[in-house]
Amino acid sequence: MPSDQSTWLIAVPQDGDSEGLLQEISPKLLQQSRSNGVAQLAIPSFKTGTLDGLISLSEELPKQETFFTTTVAKTVDTLRNLLNNDPSKLNQHILVNEQTVDEYIMKDWKWNEGRYGVQRGLRDIVDALTKEMASIDNAMKAKLANYNLVKGSLVQMQRKKTGNLSLRSLVDVVSKDDFVQDSEYLETLLVAVPKANVKDWNSKYERLSSMVVPRSSSSVASDDEYTLFGVVVFRRVHDEFVQKCRENKFIVRDFVFSEEEFVKQHQELETADTTEKELWTELLRLSRTNFSESLQILVHLKVVRLFVESVLRYGLPANYIGIAVKPDPKSAKKTFGLLQTQFSYLRPRSNRASSKGGSGENDEFVGEYQTLMEQEFFDFVLFEVPAVVV
């Protein structure tokens, strides 16, 4: 049973009028099982090549399909992260040629003859699809890595501006007037004192060591957890004073005021913020474009796989009707049951390739692929396009 969230791509032998099949099956699916939609899926008449080549593709295509599906999913994840998991915004970007995925598959899908001409062999077509998807994957990885590097640097800078006064950068907290200027013997130290210990600080700081300037403590800033004090001491007692503060749970901040550093940090933050916004916009645009491209490539690969499996299942002539079904999750089981009933007549033909062999060399050839030919199948060929979870 295929997933009730995905879109089902189905192929059956073209035994008559393709439009007649759609007209026959649509009312059943739409009325009896309340399917969300049924549409014709044009399957080109590819060059079949040799049986050996088809078997080889049949074995390789699932691996390529996994890679393609993963690439699409990673692009969606990138969009989701860029848009802060906002479903309404995500829906505006997971579009294929400016339409929804369902509209693209159910209403607008057709084989891109300009890019993947059917006069080429199946192997060449698959190679072209794989090359394009690999290019998309590599471009996304490079752009995402560059963005994450800049974003990480910005977050680190912003983190220095947040947090309590015992941790955060003090560049934009203090000013030149908070410090003793141009003194050979004196210096101003900044001490973060827990709010509960402020009274203790005021009564002790002058006696924490010798050579502390009396009444030099002044409140510079305050937050919910700490008050930042500036205190003037002689340089020669710096280490002793720091140690005594540590013993009393007063945190001396390692900070030297510099106007040049103040300007530098602000410029670096502004540059990082601007660069991050530019890269965010570029990555969003690239992700939106690459989602559209990668989804189209994935569907094209699915159609190739429909064709390959149909030839192996039903044989020649290689003329197959494709339909796309969007099941309603609540009635997907009934929808699938109706499809099985509709195409039950194909059951005897599903094993034609394995049952046709004659004698001698042909028997040996069929025997080589006997395991593949005897795999369990539905009576029709079906592959799924996974739903994009918003």
Judge whether 267 lies within some domain.
Answer: no
- Express as a percent the part of the chain with pLDDT over 90: 63
Does residue 188 share a domain with residue 146? no
Domain match, 335 and 364 both = yes
Select from 98, 71, 111, 108 the least CA-distant residue to 288. Answer: 98
In a domain, 269, yes or no: no
In a domain, 210, yes or no: yes
Q: Which range among 17-31, 95-109, 172-186 shows the weakest confidence by mean pLDDT?
A: 17-31
Reported as a single tens digit per residue, the pLDDT across 305-332 is 999 999 999 888 888 999 999 998 888 8
Residue pLDDT, tens place only, 76-97: 999 999 999 999 999 999 999 9
Does 354 score more than 50 pLDDT? no
Query: Are 145 and 248 contained in the same domain?
Result: no
Query: What amino acid is encoded at 100 in this protein?
Result: T
pLDDT at residue 390 in the model: 73
84: left (phi over 0), alpha (psi -120 to 50) or beta: left
d(CA 304, CA 222): 67
Is residue 165 within 8 Å of residue 223, measured between CB atoms? yes
pLDDT in the model for residue 294: 97
Residues 284 and 183 in one domain: no
Q: Judge whether residue 28 has pLDDT over 90.
A: no
pLDDT value at residue 373: 45
pLDDT band at 226 (very low <50, low <70, confident <90, very high): very high
Strand 251-253 relative to strand 186-194, pairing:
antiparallel
Q: What percent of the chain has pLDDT above 70?
A: 90
First to last CA, the chain: 23
The 10 Å Cβ neighbour count of residue 157 is 17
CB-CB contact of 247 with 272 (8 Å): no
DSSP assignment letter at 26:
H
- Shared-domain flag, residues 149 and 283: yes
- 247 and 219 in one domain? yes
| Amino acid in position 338 | L
Mean pLDDT along residues 143-163 = 89
Query: Per DSSP, what are the bridge partners of residue 67?
Result: none
Last residue of a domain, one of 194, 228, 256: 256
Both 236 and 285 in one domain: the answer is: no
pLDDT given at position 202: 96
Average pLDDT over residues 137-162: 91
HSE-CB at 326 with a 13 A cutoff on CA atoms is 13
Q: Is residue 263, in this structure, part of any structural domain at all?
A: no
SS3 120: coil
Q: Confidence band (pLDDT; 50, 70, 90) for 126? A: very high
CB atoms within 10 A of CB 239: 10
At which residue do the structure tokens 């189905």 appear? 10
Residue pLDDT, tens place only, 196-206? 999 999 999 99
How far from the centroid of its chain's Cα atoms is residue 290's Cα? 11
Residue 68 lies in a domain: yes
Residues 141 and 180 in one domain: no
Taking the C-alpha atoms of residue 105 and residue 324, their distance in angstroms, rounded to an integer, is 7
Residue 384 clears pLDDT 90, i.e. is over it: yes
Report whether 61 contacts 308 (CB < 8 A).
yes
**One domain for residues 134 and 282:** yes
**320 alpha carbon, distance to own chain's centre:** 35
- Domain count for the chain, please give it: 2
pLDDT of 41 higher than 50: yes
In a domain, 161, yes or no: no
Gap between the Cα atoms of 57 and 167, Å rounded: 60
Going by pLDDT thresholds of 50, 70 and 90, the confidence category of residue 360 is very low
pLDDT of 12 strictly over 70: yes
Predicted TM-score (pTM) of this structure:
0.77
CATH of the domain at 245: 3.30.70.100
State the CATH number of the domain containing residue 16.
1.20.1460.10
| CA atoms of 84 and 280, how far apart (whole Å) | 12
Least confident of 95-109, 153-167, 231-245: 153-167
Do 137 and 24 have their domain in common? Answer: yes
Which among 205, 229, 256 is the end of a domain? 256
Same domain? For 73 and 123 the reply is: yes
277-299 confidence digits (pLDDT tens):
999 999 999 999 999 999 999 99
Q: Could you tell me if residue 171 is inside a domain?
A: no
pLDDT band at 115 (very low <50, low <70, confident <90, very high): very high
Judge if 141 and 252 occupy the same domain: no
The whole-number pLDDT of residue 271 equals: 92
Residue type, position 373, single letter: M
Secondary structure class of 316 (helix, strand, coil): coil
More confident residue, 290 or 163: 290
Return the closest-CA partner of residue 143 out of 133, 153, 135. 135
262-279 residue pLDDT tens: 788 888 889 999 999 999
Q: For residue 60, what are the domain limits?
A: 7-153+275-385
Distance (Å, whole) CA 183 – CA 125: 78
Mean pLDDT of the chain: 88
Helix residue ranges, H only, 234-375: 238-247, 259-314, 332-342, 352-355, 361-368, 370-373
Q: Is residue 11 part of a domain?
A: yes
